[in-house]
Amino acid sequence: MASNDSRSYYTRGDSFTVVASREHIEHALLNFGATDVLFSQRGHLHAIAFKACGRQFRIVLSVPQSDEHPAVHGDPLPSGESAAKTLDLKIRRFWYAFALSTDAKLAAAAAGVATLESEFLANVVLPGNHTVIDELEPVIASAYRSGQRPSIRDGAPPQFI
């Protein structure tokens, strides 16, 4: 049963290790039919790459670091061992949340609500080894700065009846 706090202990991911969440993500992708699932790390950046449905995908995640979000809900700044425990908790919650989001995307694709490509569109690897988001972020930023609609493709947008 939930306490007065509307968030449940388990739904925050407190009880899941990073390893368990990563293994869950890998198994979920493999069960969906993905191949070549790889995890890599460079500093605080982590990447998950996989192939599925004739496409390559790469998701780059910036995992919380000790200097990010120093206080939780107005709590005083943690120090020493407390800071390490707080950071560990944030990282575990981060990976758990990513596992949940991956499950939701795969469930939507499996049910036909969406396609795998639409659910992970930002993470599709294009020729030249850049992802869709790598290519579109500067275009979107420029459009907002200029107030002009960007020209992303040839032809008119699709018409809906």
Q: Where are the alpha helices (DSSP H) in 33-80?
A: none
Buried b (16+ CB within 10 A) or exposed e, 36-75: ebeeeeeeeebebbbbbeebebbbeeebbeeeeeeeeeee
Residue 145 lies in a domain: no
Alpha carbons 66 and 152: distance in angstroms, whole number: 39
- The tally of domains found in the chain comes to 1
Residue 4 lies in a domain: no
Residue 80 lies in a domain: yes
The model's pTM is 0.77
Q: What average pLDDT is seen over the chain?
A: 85
Alpha carbons 32 and 21: distance in angstroms, whole number: 17
H/E element, 55: strand 55-62
**pLDDT score of 8:** 43
Residue 157 lies in a domain: no
Residue 143 lies in a domain: no
H/E element, 28: helix 18-32
Alpha carbons 56 and 131: distance in angstroms, whole number: 9
- Is the Cα torsion angle 131, 135, 136, 140 positive or negative in sign? positive
- Would you say residue 159 has pLDDT above 90? no
Rounded to 10 deg, the angle between the 81-111 and 18-32 helix axes is 10
DSSP state of 50: E
- Among 28-32, 117-121, 125-129, 156-160, name the one with the lowest average pLDDT: 156-160
Residue 139 lies in a domain: no
Q: Which residues pair with 61 in a beta bridge?
A: 46
Alpha carbons 158 and 51: distance in angstroms, whole number: 28
- Would you say residue 90 has pLDDT above 80? yes
Containing structural domain, residue 46: 18-126
Residue 12 lies in a domain: no
**pLDDT, average across residues 79-100:** 89
Q: Which two tokens stand for residue 43?
A: 């500093």
| 136, 121 Cβ separation under 8 angstroms | no
Residue 56 lies in a domain: yes
